[in-house]
Chain A
């Protein structure tokens, strides 16, 4: 048991290191940093401009603005990590042609992908922090570091990131079966969370069936908890559509839905893996 645990931890450690090297060693650290943060920050700017164009300024509705800004900042983890993890299989298979070698190595391929996700998480964390600091200092997003509920924030972060990684691994399993250009699936799943989880607008804006879907997704609870813990003085509960639940209840919902998604992730990955081997798609190469 201990030997297996040690081996699994070693798999995660070295695949994270490999992921970091693959992500970053194509250029110098400054350029790499610039490339890593520009994309997500501009994604946030789009929403900020939309907000300013319609409302006339951040000060017109600071609660809604902070709601949008914090949600979008942390959604970077969903977009970057989940999408990035889903791309790992394609990258190893078709770009570097190393999937076969990695696959037959004496380790869990599932954990290999989890390890690769860690490096993406580290890079995304930097972009999230920079975006939040910009929002707090320049745009007046109301986060006071002294009032943050850190234990709850850290608990939510850990569970949420685990959840995002698991969904990413499930998507990477599906990628076993799809060609290089079919990134629409990953893009679409990310869009699903963006649409239904109250990332940039309150859940109550959605039609009732949309709210029901949102309530079944862990990202909804994750983002709600992060907002509440980071800016406890803001009345997010009043607009989010989750006002009837306490912080602890939301943490419980997050943990329960994450556990359910873990089971689904394992099942999807296992089935896709089996199907890919059966259909001979593990080494598929879509050259067109």
Chain B
């Protein structure tokens, strides 16, 4: 069997349990779709209590939907190899003949599918319940921005995943730590430019920052108070995607070597 076919099968094999796992118990879908909406609704009412312009409610809906992807990257990509180590699967991956990158790609695809259910339903319900108005004047550009954001984001997840492979419980705590601070600096609930141009530029190392900003500009026009022009943000996202995926490939190889040399690949509960 050629390497390509083997790796494609590995991608499919790793994506499959994620997609099927999410649908295994349909009642959980209800919780995954409706309950996260409560937190988003709270932010919308907070803006209403402050007398914010309506467009801010749209920011919350988009930001809230994209939260699902960030959480998926942190908990189902970055910490996944750490988790596999804890459950005893990591050594099986190491022994199998396919590229470890294809395992990560499979995890990413499966995770994207599952997360998209939650994200899309959040946007649709947000639009209907809170009467959020968006302009879909450049749908293809919007799709491109969304896909580039996901590519760069999951590339970052792959990079984290390889770094987390050797860590102990610190990995779990680091992921926990990267929620609220990133929500703040990436501008999940308000335009990142409000934090200042240079803070926004610094925060752009997290693909979500420019991804959200470009999608907001495409959906809300000039009101979005964008950080950079959309074309520039898409160009940076493309560069980030290439850089993160390439870095993940090398980091994975190096960490695997380091793990084997130090005997930490199978070290659990550290």
Interface residues of A (CB under 8 A from B): 26-27, 35, 38-40, 42-43, 45-47, 49-51, 53-55, 64, 68, 94-96, 178-179, 181-182, 184-185, 187-192, 194-195, 199-202, 205-206, 285-288
Contacts and interface: CB of A to CB of B under 8 A. Distances in A.
A94 B184 CA distance: 31
A286 B28 CA distance: 14
A71 to B, nearest CB: 11
Contacts of A288: 17-18, 21
A68 B169 CA distance: 34
A64 B184 contact: no
Contacts of B38: 188, 191-192, 194-195
B89 A40 contact: no
Contacts of B56: 54
Contact of B183 (A46, A181, A286): A46
B263 interface: no
Looking at chain A's contact residues, the main secondary structure is: helix
* B interface, size bucket: 35 or more
Contact of A50 (B25, B169, B190): B190
Contacts of A55: 50-51
A45 B17 CA distance: 38
Contacts of A202: 49
Contacts of B177: 35, 38-39
B170 A184 contact: no
B89 A287 contact: yes
A94 B118 CA distance: 24
B140 interface: no
Nearest to B178: A39
Given A195-B39, A195-B42, A42 B169 contact: no
Nearest to A189: B35
B35 A194 contact: no
B32 to A, nearest CB: 4
B168 interface: yes
Given A38-B177, A187-B35, A179 B269 contact: no
Contact of B189 (A46, A189, A192, A199): A46
B50 A42 contact: no
B184 A42 contact: yes
A201 B41 CA distance: 12
15 contacts: A27-B170, A35-B176, A39-B180, A40-B180, A47-B46, A49-B190, A53-B194, A64-B50, A182-B25, A182-B31, A188-B31, A191-B41, A194-B38, A195-B42, A201-B48
